[in-house]
Chain A
Amino acid sequence: MLDVKSLTGGYAGALAIEDITFSLGASESLALLGRNGAGKTTTLKTLMGLLAPWSGGIEFKGAAITGQSSDRIAHAGIGYVPEERRIFESLSVTENLVAGEKPGRSGRIDWTVERVFGLFPEIARRSAAQAGTLSGGERQMLAIGRALMGNPELLLLDEPSEGLAPVVVNRLGDALAALRSDGIAILISEQNRNLARRVAENLVILETGRVAYRGNFSGLDGDPAIATRLLGV
């Protein structure tokens, strides 16, 4: 579904990721792990077209999307949930979802405001509230719901657990697991290994902008030295 080949990029003259290669099969999920500054967010932003890749290629469902604008990438079927959530604070919860509304690739509409509210009853209760008044967990749910409204086939989640209480992280894990079983592919960047584990089997660990480890969670569990060295836990 997603093929990333030797992706290199960064911000205005500052290299942040180099030679990143990984791929994701249909309905498969992958965790992108690594410390702060390892290049996880840069990788996702570059995939989403928010940063221009310096070199390398990105293929989604067999078509190159390298260097395309983010709206075209969204229309190709990728949904994006940024690290800072970036919900539209002056809009109501429902309006945020409406802003994300678009049919999927073949015109399919699987997601409606009602279905998102079914997945996240927490924000359904606050549907008319200004999104700026939501708590951190509610914001994250809204950001995920907003991405789902675009009927994506692949969801990019950038550190969804950041800044959230364990109980909320657990709740998110339930929702993401439900999305998985629905057949949506997920690329999740995380520092919280327990959440990542609930979403993905395979993982890639980045260190200072390069792929340092490739494998799955059972492999990682069997090699605590790697975890200590690359993740610092």
Chain B
Amino acid sequence: MGFYVAQFLTGLASASSLFLVAAGLSIIFGVTRIVNFAHGSLFMLGAFIAYSISQKLGFWLAVPLAALSVGAIGWAMERTVLSRLYAAPELFQLVATFGLVLIIQDAALWIWGPTDLLGPRAPGLTGVVRILGQPVPEYDLFLIAVGLMVLGGIWWMFTRTRFGILVRAATEDREMLQALGVRPARLFQVTFFIGAALAGLGGALEMPRQPASLLMDLNIIAEAFVVVVIGGMGSVVGAFLAALLIAQLNAFGILILPEITLVAAFAAMAVVLIIRPYGLLGKPATTQPHAVEIQPPQTLAGYGRIAAIALVAVLVVLPLVADSFVVVLTGDIMIFALFAAGLHFMMGTGGLISFGHAAFFGLGAYAAAIFVRDTGAGMEIALILAPAAAAVGAAIVGWFAIRLSGVYLAMLTLAAAQILWSAGVQWQDVTGGDDGILGIWPAQWASGTTAYYYLTLALASTGIAALMMAAGGRFGHLLRAGRDAPARAQALGIDIDRRRWAAIVISGTAAGLAGGLFAFSKGSVFPDVLAIPNSVDALVMVLLGGLHAPAGPILGASVFALLEDSLSRLSYWRALLGAAVVGIALFAPGGIAGTISAWLTGRRKETA
């Protein structure tokens, strides 16, 4: 009995920091309608900053000072980047906060270095208390108290202060509140400060429990997303309940089966979403989607078609004239162009955001690799299994996702990818863990560099052409209708949800095929293929090329690969990528293709 009580208290203590992060995320979303992907980064900064301050001023000063510093960083983030994006489409807001994740990640690497930093323990709270004979760390009890105090404090602020009333009013109807004379900018700044400070506090309080590390940001954000999805976006009490639920699932799940904890969180989320699509205490979003500029259908016409044929012709001739390095590089670019084209199809034509597309790429790669390793059978079947496995994965994620709006989809895909990545690392019996799966080579006939290049060319170009045709055809039109005017499309009798689901599955299938091709191209599979950076790469390719240009993914993948080839040796390559992502969101939402075509149209108008 005592053991279970102790385990329960441990769960409560973990729930505290999770709640601090999720509450901040939820408050910020409520007021600004922005899902701040960089919220986990603020948590991580809280841990690092608290560590640094504690070296000079000790633990008890470090915690509040770190929270305030992170609050200030959140405020600066809002001022410099996010405040410019309130009128932008949701996608670009999400993408910009995602870019901030990469920048903060590298900034932390630059300041604190790659090694984990274990902070001091809390003076005065280093002992244990015996509860029913079981030792419970005093610090855990302190954390539980802090969680409850913060919940009480937020409740007090929301109900007893004018600021809190304004925050709640803004959550409901920002435009009306502004018409009453409340300047949103001020409200947003204060909200960001408070939300960020809560994340920073959560990170600082982790000091005695776990070392500050560069992995903290994405780990906590994936968990916090699960929490806010379960609790209901914008509901602080919901976040509290959900944090409790997840933390207890973790605390007790680990007793039964260590591997189950990841799956348990996801399963809990799945159950909640089926019963209450907007979370335990959430309400359906009442805000209208932003008015979007209507984009032309993504068809290749005129010069585009000629360019496509010319490109394929060049690619066919390439191995005859180029050396093997160029051939291998080009093969890789084609694989990533296929991966990006799948994502582009879903995001550009479908308006469906995926921040975890590596999940499907990785599913394809692992499906192929596991099949080859366990059966010894050949590449041909594996390359059919790869997209099939990814399609199944996409169908499962998509089934939950289509019930929800864009931000939920982004969170869900990120959480799914993070969980699969954890499985890739931890489920050693099947995936080989960090050692990966080796010796995944193509069939005899395709084993040469040139032969595999042609196989890649055939499959990737077929895949990309099929995606383009789908985007430009009837299916694409219906998807676009669902993207630009969902209510009207539904009123016309178009089953948008079914199309969206299909789009996610198609997109996942393309990613899976790319993953399978990638596995045989490298001869091995490691958990990297499932990791967040791989998702980010695909996202950057799509945005770089141009979200609404048919050639976007090909262009994006090519430019990205060339940049990566020349720049990835730089130590802070990720930060550069992040800055590029933020820059595209702020200044060139059309990407390369969009910017060029806007420039051409402008010139045509001038000369006319």
Contact = CB atoms under 8 A, between A and B. Distances in A.
Nearest to B291: A12
A150 B180 contact: yes
A22 interface: no
A86 B173 CA distance: 8
Nearest to B286: A89
B177 interface: yes
B168 A150 contact: no
A146 interface: yes
A70 B179 contact: yes
Given A71-B182, A98-B162, A102-B181, A82 B168 contact: no
A90 B168 contact: yes
A86 B178 contact: no
B173 A70 contact: no
Contacts of B179: 48-50, 70-71, 73-74, 80, 82
A147 interface: yes
A50 B111 CA distance: 45
Contact of B181 (A74, A86, A89, A96): A74
A98 B165 contact: yes
A147 B165 CA distance: 16
Contacts of B182: 71, 99, 102
A162 interface: no
A75 B172 contact: no
A162 B184 CA distance: 30
Contacts of B184: 71
Output the residue of B165, B168, B180, B181 with the most chain A CB within 10 A: B181
Nearest to B159: A95
A140 B199 CA distance: 40
Nearest to A146: B180
Interface string A90-101: 110001101111
A90 B162 CA distance: 15
Nearest to B166: A99
A71 B183 contact: yes
B116 interface: no
Q: Which of B176, B177, B183 has the most CB of A within 10 A?
A: B176
A30 B600 CA distance: 51
Contacts of B165: 91, 95, 98-99
Contact of B180 (A69, A89, A95, A147): A147
B169 interface: yes
A88 interface: yes
B175 interface: yes
Contacts of A69: 178, 183
A98 B182 CA distance: 12
B169 A88 contact: yes
B281 to A, nearest CB: 11
Contacts of A90: 168, 171-172
A100 B175 contact: no
* Range of interface residues on B (Cβ < 8 Å): 10 to 19
B284 to A, nearest CB: 13
Interface string A115-149: 00000000000000000000000000000001100
A101 B163 CA distance: 12
B291 A71 contact: no
B154 to A, nearest CB: 15
A88 B178 contact: no
A88 B286 CA distance: 12
Would you call the interface of chain B mostly helix, strand, loop, or mixed? helix
Interface string A1-42: 000000000001000000000000000000000000000000
A91 B181 contact: no
Given A98-B165, A99-B165, A91 B180 contact: no
A99 B178 contact: no
Nearest to B283: A90
A89 B178 contact: no
Contact of B173 (A48, A88, A98): A88
A123 to B, nearest CB: 17
Contacts of B291: 12
A75 B182 CA distance: 9
B175 A99 contact: no
A91 B170 CA distance: 11
B181 A75 contact: yes
A71 to B, nearest CB: 5
A150 B181 contact: yes
B342 to A, nearest CB: 32
Interface string A45-75: 0001110000000000000000001110111
A187 to B, nearest CB: 15
B130 to A, nearest CB: 45
A74 B168 contact: no
A179 B493 CA distance: 49
B100 to A, nearest CB: 27
A95 B180 CA distance: 13
Interface string B166-205: 1011011101111111111000000000000000000000
Contact of A101 (B162, B173, B176, B178): B162
Interface string B142-176: 00000000000000000000100110110111011
A73 B173 CA distance: 18
B168 A70 contact: no
Contacts of B171: 90
Contact of A88 (B162, B168, B181): B168
Nearest to A79: B180
A96 B166 CA distance: 9
A70 B178 contact: yes
Contacts of A101: 162
A134 B326 CA distance: 71
Contacts of A88: 168-169, 172-173, 176-177
Contacts of B162: 98, 101
A86 B183 contact: no
Nearest to B161: A98
Contacts of B168: 88, 90-91, 95
Contacts of A102: 180-182
Which 4 A-B pairs have CB atoms at the shortest separation, nearest pair first? A74-B181, A70-B179, A86-B176, A99-B169
Given A69-B178, A90-B171, A91-B172, 16 more contacts: A48-B179, A70-B178, A70-B179, A71-B179, A74-B179, A74-B181, A80-B179, A82-B176, A86-B173, A88-B177, A90-B168, A91-B169, A99-B166, A99-B177, A146-B180, A150-B180
17 contacts: A48-B179, A50-B179, A70-B175, A71-B182, A73-B179, A74-B179, A80-B179, A80-B180, A88-B168, A88-B176, A95-B165, A96-B169, A98-B162, A99-B166, A100-B180, A102-B181, A147-B180
